[in-house]
Structure 1
Amino acid sequence: MSDLTLVIGNKNLSSWSLRPWILMKHFGIPFEEVTIRLDVPGTRAEIAKHSPSGLVPCLTVSGEAIWDSLAIAETLAEWYPEKNLWPEDMMARARARCLSAEMHSGFSELRGTWPMDVRCEHKALSRPPGVARDLKRIHALWTGARQDYGQDGPFLFGEFSIADAMYAPVVSRIRTYGPVPMFADLTDYMDAIWEHPAMQEWRAGAREEEAQGWYA
């Protein structure tokens, strides 16, 4: 598949954009990147040029648009089966899909209360009950995946997969608003995500946005 264009929002803010971006970077899937500055006059009109939902991210190819993070990931898995974007083992793959779908549809308290801000670390904010519940569930999901399927590598299912891409913004949030003592036993996993070359590139992009005055 050629001529892929990924339309994303600000690297510091758009957690949903990070998910397909880090996935494509990790697996070496070439794409052209179009970044749209969010929350300024003209944002909605600019996004509408690319995305029928009026939201980012959106992947376009040959005039067709795929406008949802998980749909983009599933489509890429179909287009590039040799890259194993999902775990190869059937049951591990099923678990990874469950984790990814739960992230896609849930954890609204965490996402709403702790917006992604990759420029900052260790704000040590309090955790209201809804955020605490979401964090407890995420800890259980990560721990279970690592114990059952992740023994052969640093990521949730050993090798990097769509599930890791879906939870990369959560790692960022914990770094920004934590520390969260509950996750002390998952430090190695979170470090693997945080120091991933693609995540480092994304973080550098956020700092560049800041230097350009996007967050003045």
Structure 2
Amino acid sequence: MKLIIGNKAYSSWSMRGWLAAKQSGLSFEEITVPLYNDDWESRKIESDLIPSSGKVPILWDDENVIWDSMAILEYLSDKVGRDRFWPKDDAARGMARSLCAEMHSGFMGLRRNCPMNVRKKFAGFQISEEARNDAIRILQLWAETRSRFGRSGPYLFGTFSAADIFYAPIVTRFVTYGFTLPGFAQSYVDTMMEHAWMVQWYEEASEEKWIIDHFEDVGQN
């Protein structure tokens, strides 16, 4: 398998696809393409990216091609068994799917106001009301999930699952933009940040030489 991702410093959807590939336990070749650099317009129409119109992540499994992080996660869960990604309990699995779907389609205020940048921490950043409301909704979801289904371990549904994969970039945003979190949420953020795959992602992002000014200047007020 071959997984094509964007810059680890900035690409939240790439993080989700990459974590899903890691969670599958399958071996894969990782290819990073620098987004929006001088070569991007020509690179995104090359044969390995054209099926997704240049969007990342995109997974190639021999001749099978899958793009969009949710589709990649579902494809991989079909290959290795859904219990590797989703809770076994029906009620927990239903909530996990709902959390992932809401993340996949929503929280645009938080995304716009606080783009992912794992190499930065912005002090005194002014969070927009729309982004703050999104964060409150996310914390409500985390609180309910942890209360109902998270007692067997430190992750949203106890053990590491699709829900943690989909909310991992939110964890990075809470760190980057200095959100003040309630205790249970801060504990979850700390747990996620200590996960070996998150540590690896951060280390490799720190070694990237590509800069996207838009994401570097967002904290300037």
The structural deviation recorded for 1:122 is: 5.1
Is 2:35 aligned against 1:38?
A: yes
The structural deviation recorded for 1:188 is: 1.5
TM superposition score normalised by structure 1: 0.91
Q: How does 1:9-158 map to 2 (within 5 A)?
A: 9-49=6-46, 50-51=48-49, 52-53=51-52, 54-81=54-81, 84-121=84-121, 123-158=123-158
The structural deviation recorded for 1:64 is: 2.0
Contact 1:145 1:157 in 2 (8 A): yes
- Residue identity matched to 1:134: D
Correspondence for 1:195: 194
Measure, in 1, the Cα distance between the counterparts of 2:85 and 2:57: 18
The structural deviation recorded for 1:47 is: 3.0
Correspondence for 1:8: 5
Q: Which range moved further: 138-147 or 20-29?
A: 20-29
- Residue identity matched to 1:75: Y
Measure, in 2, the Cα distance between the counterparts of 1:122 and 1:193: 20
Contact 2:20 2:72 in 1 (8 A): no
Unaligned runs of 5+ in 1: none
Measure, in 1, the Cα distance between the counterparts of 2:181 and 2:162: 24
Contact 1:47 1:56 in 2 (8 A): no
Measure, in 2, the Cα distance between the counterparts of 1:29 and 1:83: 15
TM superposition score normalised by structure 2: 0.89
Contact 2:23 2:84 in 1 (8 A): no
Contact 1:11 1:205 in 2 (8 A): yes
**Residues 1:213 and 1:130: Cα distance change in structure 2 (over 3 Å):** closer
Measure, in 1, the Cα distance between the counterparts of 2:211 and 2:131: 28
Correspondence for 2:183: 184
Aligned length: 210
Q: Secondary structure at the match of 1:65?
A: strand
**Residues 1:138 and 1:82: Cα distance change in structure 2 (over 3 Å):** closer
RMSD, matched Cα: 1.6
Identical aligned residues as a percent: 41
Unaligned runs of 5+ in 2: 214-221
The structural deviation recorded for 1:27 is: 4.3
The structural deviation recorded for 1:215 is: 5.7
